[in-house]
Amino acid sequence: MTVTSRPEIVGTFGVVATTHWLASAAGMAMLEKGGNAFDAAVAAGTVLNVVEPDQNGPGGDVPIILWSAAKAKVEVICGQGTAPAGATSGWFRDQGFDRMPGSGHLPAVVPGSFGAWMLLAAEYGTLPLRELLAPVIAIATEGFLVKREVADLLAALVGMFTTHWPSSAEIFLPGGRAPEAGTLLAVPAQAATYRRLVAEAEAAGGSREHQIEAARRAWYEGFVAEAIDRFFRQPVMDTSGVANKGLLSGSDLAGWRAAIEEPITYDYGDYTVCKAGPWAQSPVMLQQLALLKGFDIAGMAPNGPDFVHTVQECVKLALADREAFYGDPRFVDVPLDRLLSDDYNAARRELVEDRASMAMRPGTIPGFGGAIALRDEGSSNYAHAETVDVAAPGSVTRTDYAQWQARHPGDTCHFDIIDRWGNMISSTPSGGWCSGAPVVPGLGFCVSTRGQMFSLDADHPNAIQPGKRPRTTLTPTLALRRGEPYLVFGTPGGDQQDQWALHAFLRHVHHGMNLQQAVDVPSFHTNHVPSSFFPREWVPGHLAIEGTFPAATLAALDRRGHRLDVAPHWGHYNSVTMASRVGRVLRAGASPRRMQCYAVGR
């Protein structure tokens, strides 16, 4: 019998798997109240926005993919905000930037998460707004456990916050000190913002949907937008080493709405895998499947060198095409039909050789794509007009803030939920992390810096333009099996999201692992791609791999030329969660790696 880190959850009433146990509990509470999976998602998602401040915040972004039993279809909700009206590649280059800055006001985009939660609640949910936001208000008021990673992060930022971002110090450094690991951190300013949203919604009266729309207006046209507009007129420190005013304005927020879109799909054996469009990296997983279907994945040992090498080399090709071709399809033509076609991927598959590739090799599609800027790891110049030291109090090691930010980008959260009626939802909340931007005074949270993922090459599909969505890393997944909704899954992890999630999927569908086994087994990924995060560097030939792989596998991969970066047991950030439905039987699993992901259900 295979022993897993925790049991695969099995039930018939509902399952909730998230990257934080408090979010899992909040989602399950909505199901117990009689709400559906979409109600549970709003509660879980808003709780994640608070309890994982190092990974996201209420002012962040979110893509959502779902199966609605009532509509009998898969749909995507885009909660990715857009670039400000004044943001152009020419403007940034005129200011002396050779790439998008990584923090502060300048890379800010419209905060899209709240609008997406409200669209989800209004169109698909059943419970009133007060009940949906009750868990996040209670947790923000009463406090949540500070993990060691969060304590260390805040300790490193004491100098930055107190000197340059005092509004962040007010929220995250209670009493002027970083909270210790194992203590509770309350964020009453965030609770007050949510309470005011509920109060304004209820004051508007009318139906549940009318009140939800009133809350959305209060955010994008009311007091939230007004506070953001005021704050962005004030210069703040960023990775350039000087303080800059922002471009984002209240009118940018007022002109934006979350939207429902059709998914992009790919048929892989019995499965139809559904993803968001190329404004996210989501089609990367579909192209990996198009490449991998030419190999006997089922015949490869899931912990063997052939499996790792083959998957690794295919993701390099798919990520290269991401870098060359992806962008917001409202602004540019992205040749997805060609990128996912059999003949194109048959030709690309021929590039997979016995040895690891060290090259960046995008495909050629006449009339499409752009140049890829390659910067080696550690090559960036951080000579600033002002040096900002970042270190834990008393530390003898100090570093420039921009260098620190390059090594400590924010990340992401994730959840997967299925209810007794067969509704399914997967979502990856992100952005607005506490290390990326200062807190907006009066609101208690930061605004997403997702704009750092834009290119400043005006001819590139992902070039920054007013009203355009950056090509993000956020990529939840839903899969049908023989036409029936079957599986929702995903993970935090930036550029690794469509690597780790794919590995779990392959090990589940090809190697018969249950959901918990599929997320427990040894992990690997590559940074053989320009990072989506500042300063956009890459590591050719890189293969990060957990040392719990068999020694023979590691040795064989080394012989094949992979540049191994061996991590200890469960040493990766891989935080895959998964949930499935077959008839009335619901299952869920959650990675043990961050010591906070949890699946619950009954």
Between these two residues, 406 and 540, which has the higher pLDDT value? Answer: 540
Q: How far apart, in whole angstroms, are the C-alpha atoms of residue 416 and residue 409?
A: 24
For residue 250, give the amino acid letter.
G
Per-residue pLDDT at 397: 55
Secondary structure of the chain: what % helix, strand, coil (to 5)? 35, 20, 45
Q: Check whether 501 has a pLDDT greater than 70.
A: yes
Angle subtended at Cα 80 by Cα 255 and Cα 483, rounded to the nearest 5 degrees: 125
Residue 509 binned pLDDT confidence (cut-offs 50, 70, 90): very high
Backbone angles phi, psi at 32, to 5 degrees: -65, -25
Kindly report, residue by residue over 546-576, the tens digit of the pLDDT: 999 999 999 999 999 999 999 988 888 899 9
Residue 409 binned pLDDT confidence (cut-offs 50, 70, 90): confident
* The residue to which tokens 């077959």 are assigned: 582
Per-residue pLDDT at 396: 46
Rg (CA), the chain: 22
Per-residue pLDDT at 352: 98
Per-residue pLDDT at 385: 43
SS3 574: coil
Q: How far apart, in whole angstroms, are the C-alpha atoms of residue 472 and residue 450?
A: 7
Per-residue pLDDT at 407: 79
Nearest partner of 273 among 295, 258, 288, judged by Cα: 288
Q: Check whether 54 has a pLDDT greater than 50.
A: yes
User: Average pLDDT over the chain, rounded to whole?
Assistant: 95
Q: Check whether 340 has a pLDDT greater than 90.
A: yes
Q: How far apart, in whole angstroms, are the C-alpha atoms of residue 76 and residue 123?
A: 12
Mean pLDDT of 329-336: 98
Per-residue pLDDT at 391: 57
Percent of the chain with pLDDT strictly greater than 70: 97
Mean pLDDT of 400-417: 85
Per-residue pLDDT at 594: 84
